[in-house]
Amino acid sequence: MLKVENLVVKYGMIEAIKGISFEVNDGEIVTLIGANGAGKTTTMHAISGLIKPVSGSIYLDGTDLTKVQPHKIVSMGLAQVPEGRRVFAQETVEENLTLGAFFRKDKDKIKADMDYVYDLFPRLKERSSQLAGTLSGGEQQMLAMGRALMADPKIMLLDEPSMGLSPLLVSEIFSIIEEINKKGTTVLLVEQNAKRALAIANHAYVLETGTITLQGTGQELSRDARVQKAYLGG
């Protein structure tokens, strides 16, 4: 479904991503783990078109996204839950969800998806007319996920969904990611919480200073001595 080939991204003179390649197959949960500054968010931004790569390709079902205008990418079925949630603080919960379906014209299906999001996150329904900026961190994370679901994506990118949340909320968020995946949405997950991410991932990649240094199934990597030492506190 998603295939990244020899991706290189630079900030000025600094090469943040040094030619990485990876693949996400239909229906999978794939995770990209790595320390702060490894280039995880940069990779996510490149896929969604927020930053233009220097070279390399990003194929979504065969179409090279690096040649697509950034705002058209979401309508091709790729939605992102960005790092730090980035909900529209001055808009209500409902308006944020409506913005998630901005490019869509199928009104009936939008309504159905909104009901689905409210089912998935009952707390958002209770707060539908509240400004997003007044929500707690966990609720904002749910809103950011709900907003991405409103695009009815084939593949959802999640960038550090567990950041700054209590362990209880982290468990909730991760079980919802699994639920979304079971409903048929492919997931690309970027996490610093490697333990959790590896536990739900079909396939995983380790990113270190802009290079993929290890890859394997989630189970393989969670047993790998290097991963345990560097990321799992083993």
Partner 1 sequence: MAFLSYLINGLSLGSVYAIIALGYTMVYGIAKMLNFAHGDIMMVGAYVAFFALNSFGLPVIPSVLLSMLVTTCLGVVIERLAYKPLRQATSLSVLITAIGVSYFLQNGAQLLWSSSTKVFPSIISSGAIKLFGGQLQISYLTLVTIAVCIAVMVCLTLFINKTKTGMAMRACSEDKGAATLMGINVNRIISITFAIGSGIAAVAAVLLCATYPTLSPTLGSMPGIKAFTAAVFGGIGSIPGAFLGGLMLGVIEILSKAYISTQLSDAIVFTVLIVVLLIKPTGLLGRKLNEKV
Q: Rule CB under 8 A: which residues touch partner 1?
A: 48-50, 69-75, 79-80, 82, 84, 86-91, 95, 98-100, 102-103, 133, 137, 140, 147, 151, 164
Exposed e or buried b for every residue in 172-187, given b needs 16+ CB within 10 A?
A: bbbebbeebbeeebbb
Question: Min. distance of Cβ 153 from partner 1 in angstroms?
Answer: 11
The C-alpha atoms of residue 178 and residue 160 are separated, in whole angstroms, by 15
The C-alpha atoms of residue 175 and residue 181 are separated, in whole angstroms, by 10
Q: Please choose, from the candidates 134, 76, 136, 125, the residue with its C-alpha nearest in 3D space to the C-alpha of residue 97.
A: 125
Question: Min. distance of Cβ 141 from partner 1 in angstroms?
Answer: 11
Which residues, in sequence order, are bridge partners of residue 206?
Answer: 33, 214
Report the residue number, 96 or 222, with the smaller CB distance to partner 1: 96
Question: Min. distance of Cβ 53 from partner 1 in angstroms?
Answer: 15
Report the residue number, 75 or 228, with the smaller CB distance to partner 1: 75
Report the residue number, 160 or 224, with the smaller CB distance to partner 1: 160
Question: Min. distance of Cβ 75 from partner 1 in angstroms?
Answer: 5
